[in-house]
Amino acid sequence: MTLLFSSTMAFAAQLPPEATDAADAAVPHAHLQTSEWILLIAILVLAITICFFLIARRFRAMHAGMDHLTSMLQNRTEAMHELDEAKQAYKNLYDLALVAIFRSTIDGSRFLAINQTGARMFGYESAQEMLAMTFPRDVYHPPDKRTEMLRELELKGLVQNFSASFIRKDGSIFHAIFSSKLNREENYIEGTIQDITSLKLAEQRIGESRDYLQNVIDAIPIPVAVRDTTGIFTLANDEFASAVDIPKNQLIGKHSRELFPLSAVLLQEEYDRALLNAKGKATQRFEQHNPRANPPTTQLVYENVLLDSNGEVAGLVGAIIDITARKRMEEELRKAKERYRNILVNSLEGIFMATVDGRITAVNPAMAKLYGYNSPEEMIDSVRNLALEHWVHPEKRDQMLKDLIRTDHLSGYEIEIRRRDGEHIWISLSIRAVRNDMGVLEAIEGIAVDVTEKKRSVQELSVRANTDPLTGLANRTHMEQSLEHMLAQAKRSQKNVGVLFIDLDKFKPINDTYGHEAGDTLLREVSSRLKVRLREADLAARMGGDEFVIILWDIRSVEDLYRVGRPLLEELNKPYTWEGRELRIGASIGGCIFPDHGNTPGELLRCADKAMYGIKQSGKNALHISPANDSCRIES
């Protein structure tokens, strides 16, 4: 302002006198001095300055107001943006909620709103589809469930956890928990629906499982009960309820102290404590004796830990078995064992008991001595399988077991054994089958007697009388006796007997070329091959020279005789070795069957010999079985 005033004053001083005079003339009757003009101009300048100041101030105020307005508009825009975001977030939460959120009219004429979860819960693709197609009063099952809900809603204004069933678009039913609030002023109901169908099914399955478990333990013929870790009964079967004389419905949910004498409960809790403190699975059993019962009883109690899914102890399951009778039997058995032990120890005959698989479980001193052991304990500890370790022919044990299973006892069953020191002796067994309650053979007990001397004497006489000294096969006399015996047995049992007559081909040239030693070696090898191919019930005999006879028990047909004869022929045709040389022979084999071809040993031998002779005439090294009409069919 000072600068403006100074400039004005300077301007006035520079005006020419003509200008001043003109000014004075322009203002009538105003004869002002220069100083007065300067004052007037100063006042005018001041007024203009004040005006400018006021205008600038007003302008600044207007500018500040505009800034404030702009700020307010910006804040409003931001607030609207945040509001939109909040509305979108709410809508997302609304649509993605795990429960149905709805609003409907009180009269059930229409849904005012429902979220996407609710639409899918009722089987619709979208909320819009459900709002257009569905009426609230039509989705309840049964319909009167809505009436019940409205009654409670009118009474309280609020319904929480109301159990109801609803109908989906496709007509299926689902179970849900319903919570709602009544808004009377605006005439609507709003609330949530949570689908609990899977929970209902799970509860149903749990109930069915519990019923099944109850039926299972009710079928158990011994008392069984389950208690939680605090001692409260959670499950019990009929036998347990009967044993304690308390109905099941009065047992479940009760503590042992509420049901039984305190002294018995305290003792039981002492046993339980060990299991409850266990880490992981644990089992215990103990006996309880009741001398006050009439008659006195003894019970065996089994208890097991029940673990939850986390491996923590969740309870105890127990079972009770009355073992009074068993205890009585054990005592009687103890006395019987004592008597048996006295007999066992003092007997001069070997007495033993063994399992079916051959393991010795009991022997007396005489039995241990018989097998070469110093004591029964040493024999029991050393022998794992009696037949495999000591029988000369362990395979005979299988047949012995079959006979024992069939007859339950065997007497005079002779076997050759090998004692601990390697000596071979013969013993005679008298054994009895020991069966379990199901009738299954589970043990063998019996007596063993040394019959070595007797057996050797009989064997020596029998060998001399019945055996071919070169081959060890039966001789002609023994063969005829055996055949006669087998025919008599076959007549009684209606069985067939087969006879094969064998004559070796090309044997004489070998015997003549290499000498009798080679011939004898060849005959012994032939005998060995024949014996390997025969069963225990069959017989091989040497008739003399290079002729042999095979007697076959229980041959059912000519075809069966061929099936036996062919492998024999193949075996005899295989090469033989003598002193590094390969020797080959053949065999002509004729055969016949009792009773088709004869009833006596003589008739059968003649028929088989005739069939064999037919082979010799037709080319040798073949097998022929005589048919019933005595015609010959040659097969090589």
Q: Which residue has the higher pLDDT, 292 or 100?
A: 100
Which of 1-15, 52-66, 231-245 has the lowest average pLDDT? 1-15
- Asked if pLDDT for residue 634 goes beyond 60, the answer is no
Planar angle of CA 235, 320, 244, nearest 5 degrees: 65
Which of 285-294, 360-369, 602-611 has the lowest average pLDDT? 285-294
pLDDT of amino acid 84: 66
For residue 628, what pLDDT band results from cuts at 50, 70 and 90? low
Report how far residue 521's alpha carbon sits from residue 528's, in angstroms, rounded to the nearest whole number: 11
- Asked if pLDDT for residue 111 goes beyond 60, the answer is yes
Count how many residues are written for the chain.
Answer: 636
- Asked if pLDDT for residue 1 goes beyond 50, the answer is no
pLDDT of amino acid 248: 87
Domains of the chain: 90-200 (3.30.450.20), 220-326 (3.30.450.20), 348-455 (3.30.450.20), 467-625 (3.30.70.270)
- Maximal C-alpha separation, the chain: 199
pLDDT tens per residue, range 14-37: 445 444 444 444 444 445 578 778
pLDDT tens per residue, range 514-551: 999 999 999 999 999 999 989 999 999 999 899 999 99
pLDDT tens per residue, range 458-500: 878 877 788 898 998 999 999 999 999 999 999 999 999 999 9
Q: Between 17-26 and 34-96, two packed helices, what is the crossing angle to 10 degrees?
A: 80
- Asked if pLDDT for residue 8 goes beyond 70, the answer is no
Q: What is the mean pLDDT of the chain?
A: 85
- Asked if pLDDT for residue 242 goes beyond 80, the answer is yes
pLDDT of amino acid 86: 62
Query: What does 521-547 look like in DSSP terms, one character per residue?
Result: HHHHHHHHHHHHTS-TT-EEEEEETTE
pLDDT of amino acid 104: 93
pLDDT of amino acid 584: 92
- Asked if pLDDT for residue 336 goes beyond 90, the answer is no
State percent of the chain over pLDDT 90: 42
What average pLDDT score do residues 253-277 get? 86
Residue 223: which residues within 8 A CB-CB, separation 6 or more? 237, 239, 240, 242, 243, 244, 319, 320
pLDDT tens per residue, range 36-75: 788 888 888 888 888 888 888 877 777 776 777 777 777 7
For residue 619, what pLDDT band results from cuts at 50, 70 and 90? confident
Helix/strand/coil for 437: coil
